[in-house]
């Protein structure tokens, strides 16, 4: 049988209980002081919990025409090319093994539709790209260096327009083809992929849930998009996000969101036929089977007032494998089909500020 034991408040009460076996009566003022202290501690605990991100928050992107932010972005991509047989690489344009991109953009919302879709303009105030072409001949490296210098000069002052649907998916973007049309293929294609990665991470990829979320809660979105004129890949995949708490970024209240992305890309072969490599292979009777898979993770800070991106750090690993069926004789009767594989690791950092 359980017995009620009254609390011992101080040394005097403890001594009195030991001597008489009865608890000493606590003065009213002492009880009130204890109650006030408990109330104060409870209030402090509640404030600490709120500051740590307690309670559900609604993370949503509220587009308003004229909204503007300045973003400084750095991207670093390292790639490794492998093939069987080794001289299969000669069929393809030289590929940068190390690519670094540094840019500053002024981002403005130019139009908001009634259904929530929006057009967002990115004006390049600064654009610098550097590549390492490995052991290529000197004349090839000089040509690539000149191409990337021309691309950097051409990009400054240019505007890229991204179209997001009502679910904030990146539908398409335009403007890149015109100022990259004279850029050589070894630099152009990596630049296009980096531009799309940047645009997806800034407002796309459905970062925002469709309901208020609590700390630790996860939500997912499917990533499905068809090839476009500027990006010749069909994308399929899944992104998973988790709200991990609140913070302040340059004085702005923000939500911390961690995320993980897995995707698969299938190239549109018609787009690849514009270059010389694929027609050469097809003329030899080859059928190209290409698979590109990627896994990425990152952390993004989202403003609580309108959902704009304040900061983003992202890492992505991609593997592109290509089997050339019908060309087994190229490497011998007992060998596997010719294979090309590209491993790449990309890291991106974005920091935003008001104009």
Query: 223, 266, 262, 214: which is closest to 242 by C-alpha?
Result: 214
Does 316 reside within a domain? yes
* Structural domain count, the chain: 2
Percent of the chain with pLDDT over 90: 27
Asked whether residue 57 is domain-assigned, the answer is no
On whether both 29 and 85 belong to a single domain, the answer is no
Q: Are residues 161 and 219 in the same domain?
A: yes
Per-residue tokens: 299: 């952390």
Task: Measure CA 324 to chain center.
Answer: 32
Range of 26's domain? 11-48
Band of the pLDDT at 34, cuts 50, 70, 90? very low
- pLDDT single digits (tens) 170-194: 888 888 777 677 666 656 666 677 6
204 with 340, same domain: the answer is yes
Q: Decide if 298 is inside a domain.
A: yes
Residue 60 lies in a domain: no
Please, which pLDDT band fits residue 340 given cuts at 50, 70 and 90?
confident
- Pick from 51-60, 90-99, 181-190 the range whose average pLDDT is largest: 90-99
pLDDT at 40 over 60: no
Tokens matching residue 187: 């630099």
pLDDT for the residue numbered 97:
83
Both 91 and 157 in one domain: the answer is yes
- The better pLDDT of the pair 252, 223 is held by 252
Q: Is residue 58 part of a domain?
A: no
pLDDT at 137: 76
Same domain, 186 and 37: no
**Is 1 domain-assigned?**
no
Q: Are residues 30 and 172 in the same domain?
A: no
- How many Å apart are CA 189 and CA 230, to the nearest integer? 10
- Give the C-alpha separation, 119 to 110, whole Å: 6
Q: 266-274 long-range contacts, Cβ below 8 Å, gap at least 24?
A: 266/233, 266/234, 266/236, 266/290, 266/291, 266/292, 267/227, 267/232, 267/233, 267/234, 267/292, 268/227, 268/232, 268/233, 268/234, 270/232, 271/227, 271/232, 272/232
* Same domain, yes or no: 24 and 152: no
Contact criterion met (CB below 8 Å) for 259 and 242: yes
**What pLDDT is stored for residue 325 in this prediction?**
73
* Same domain? 36 vs 132: no
Both 140 and 30 in a single domain?
Answer: no
Is there a single domain that holds both residue 90 and residue 19?
Answer: no
| 95 & 123 share domain | yes
- In-domain check, residue 204: yes
**Is pLDDT at 296 greater than 90 in this prediction?**
yes
- On whether both 176 and 224 belong to a single domain, the answer is yes
């Amino acid at each position: 049988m359980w017995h009620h034991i009254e609390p011992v408040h101080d040394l005097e009460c403890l001594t009195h209980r030991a001597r008489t076996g009865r608890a000493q009566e606590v003065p009213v003022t002492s009880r009130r002081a204890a109650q006030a202290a408990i109330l104060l501690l409870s209030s402090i605990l509640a404030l600490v919990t709120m500051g740590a991100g307690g309670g559900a928050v609604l993370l949503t992107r509220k587009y308003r025409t004229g909204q503007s932010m300045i973003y400084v972005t750095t991207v670093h991509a390292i790639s490794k090319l492998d093939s069987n047989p080794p001289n299969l690489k000669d069929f393809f344009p030289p590929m940068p093994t190390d690519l670094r991109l540094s840019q500053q953009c002024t981002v403005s919302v130019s139009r908001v539709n009634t259904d929530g879709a929006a057009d967002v303009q990115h004006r390049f105030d600064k654009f610098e790209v550097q590549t390492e072409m490995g052991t290529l001949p000197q004349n090839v490296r000089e040509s690539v260096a000149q191409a990337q210098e021309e691309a950097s000069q051409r990009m400054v002052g240019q505007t890229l327009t991204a179209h997001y649907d009502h679910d904030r998916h990146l539908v398409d973007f335009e403007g890149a083809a015109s100022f990259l049309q004279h850029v050589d293929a070894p630099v152009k294609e990596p630049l296009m992929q980096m531009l799309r990665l940047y645009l997806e991470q800034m407002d796309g990829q459905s970062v925002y849930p469709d309901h208020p979320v609590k700390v630790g809660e996860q939500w997912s979105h499917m990533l499905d998009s068809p090839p476009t004129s500027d990006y010749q890949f069909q994308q399929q995949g899944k992104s998973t996000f988790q709200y991990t708490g609140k913070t302040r970024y340059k004085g702005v209240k923000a939500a911390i969101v961690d995320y993980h992305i897995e995707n698969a890309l299938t190239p549109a072969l018609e787009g690849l036929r514009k270059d010389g490599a694929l027609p050469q292979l097809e003329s030899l009777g080859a059928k190209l089977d290409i698979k590109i898979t990627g896994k990425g993770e990152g952390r993004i800070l989202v403003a609580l007032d309108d959902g704009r991106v304040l900061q983003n750090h992202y890492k992505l690993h991609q593997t592109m494998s290509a089997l050339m069926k019908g060309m087994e004789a190229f490497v011998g009767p007992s060998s596997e089909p010719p294979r090309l594989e590209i491993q790449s690791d990309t890291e991106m950092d974005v920091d935003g500020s008001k104009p």
